[in-house]
Structure 1
Amino acid sequence: MKRKTYKDLVAEIAPQIKECFPWDVEERMNKGDDLLFLDVREAHEYDTMHIEGSLHVPRGILETAVEWDHEETEPELVKARNRQIVVVCRSGSRSVFATYTLMQMGYKYVTSLKTGLRGWNEYDLPLVDMEGNVVDPEVGDRYFANKLLDFQRKPADWVEPE
């Protein structure tokens, strides 16, 4: 089996799901659509800033959160199989995987936010902190900026193992 990268996996799954941009979501909100925002980022990311009223279920527990009888069960999400759900993450990649999983588990109206919360913030849509205070978009810009550390970069002499 040929090794695939993270980007390969996202590109493979993305055509099989629905994606929307922040301005599409804003239009749906303005029309009065009853949207459930599902944030699949890690807890520390969610705690820093998120869409007000969004439901937080980290991607790592998603499969058990959507079914009854698990410690991770999230009743609101279990009951939302026929609701319009917009899945969000930082950049729009983890939400692709989560959207695909939800579709496989019987969710009918689920969409991934293309560009993620980074794009949401760039479009000047509101984010709040844990106390419900609106986050300044410039603070969001700094938070969502790429923070790759030197040791995380691929070395120039790196050879992929076979």
Structure 2
Amino acid sequence: MTTQDSVPGKGASQIVADARTTTPEITVGQARKELDQGHVSLLLDVREPAEWEKAHIPGAVLAPRGMLEWYADPTTPYAKPEITTKRDAYIIVACASGGRSMLAAQTLQSMGYTHVVSMAGGFNEWSKQGFPIEGIQER
């Protein structure tokens, strides 16, 4: 018996796979094109602050995954207007590799945000493609 066999319920990979069945996903190339053309109202980075400080995509707004629901809910004292005012706008959600952003995009959809997509491959793929970054690891 493997460890996975002894754990009841779904694992993280299955939860992300399930989210992919209902939540749109775009490539980093598509995201770059949409950003360059000015079609994106918000690029939301759901990584942790330490990841963000090392490097991030220019113009992205930080909202760590663990605080997303509070930042995106206008009725909480933690609400971020740069998020809450974008309920019907085009939002791209990014993380390191695409898992957290998929779950975050699904969460935003369930909160009533209407045009949310996850960026497949996340910041790692963005950086690998040589697209612009800023922060400590800035090129």
Asked if Structure 1 and Structure 2 have the same fold, meaning a TM-score greater than 0.5 normalized by the shorter chain, the answer is yes
Letter matched to residue 63 of structure 1: E
TM-score normalized by structure 1?
0.76
Partner of 1:17: 23
Give the one of 100, 116, 127 matched to 1:121.
127
1:135 aligns with 2:138: yes
CA RMSD in angstroms comes to 1.7
Aligned residues: 133
Equivalent of 2:89, from 61, 80, 83? 83
How much does 1:122 deviate? 1.2
**CA deviation digits over 1:14-66, x for unaligned, max 9?**
11101000111122233331331101011111111111111111111111111
Deviation at 1:2, TM superposition (A): 4.3
**Cα displacement (A) at 1:128:** 0.4
**Of 56, 62, 79, which aligns to 2:62?**
56
Unpaired runs of at least 5, structure 2: 1-6
Match of 2:53 in 1: 47
Which residue identity is paired with 2:72?
V
**Alignment partner of 1:16: what SS?**
coil
Write the distance in 2 (CA, Å) between the matches of 1:71 and 1:127: 31
- Displacement of 1:11: 0.7
Query: Do 2:87 and 2:114's aligned partners in 1 also have CA atoms closer than 8 Å?
Result: yes
Letter in 2 for 1:48: K
The percentage of counterpart residues that share the same residue type is: 31
Q: If the length of structure 2 is used for normalisation, what is the TM-score?
A: 0.88
Is 1:105 the counterpart of 2:111? The answer is yes
- Secondary structure at 1:103 match in 2: helix
Equivalent residue for 1:150?
A: none
Q: Give the match for residue 65 of structure 1.
A: 71
Higher CA-based Rg? 1
TM-superposed deviation, 1:73: 1.1
Q: Secondary structure at the match of 2:113?
A: coil
Opposite residue 106 of structure 2, the aligned amino acid is: Y
1:71-99 deviations in Å (ceiling 9; x for gaps): 32111101010111100000000001000
Give the Cα separation in 1 of the matches to 2:18 and 2:39: 29
